[in-house]
Amino acid sequence: MGTYVVMAQKLAGFLMTKGFKLHSLEQNRKDGSKHVFIFTNSIELEKAIEEYKAIRK
């Protein structure tokens, strides 16, 4: 399993409320005033991201 990079803070927060642990937090290379959120990729993580996208529509 690899990692999954999340650019949006709201999505990262949603994933953490669902119990996914933040692997690491790094500074965004394109915009130094922002961060990227790194999670361990899994099928469950991808399903949670799809759930978030469905809610946000």
Q: What pLDDT does residue 41 have?
A: 96
Torsion angle of the four alpha carbons 20, 51, 6, 34, in this order, in degrees rounded to the nearest 10: -110
Say whether pLDDT at 1 is over 90. no
Residues 4-42 have pLDDT tens digits of 999 999 999 999 999 999 999 999 999 989 999 999 999
Task: Say if CB 39 and CB 45 are below 8 A apart.
Answer: yes
* Angle between helices 43-56 and 9-17 in degrees, nearest 10: 120
Say whether pLDDT at 55 is over 80. yes
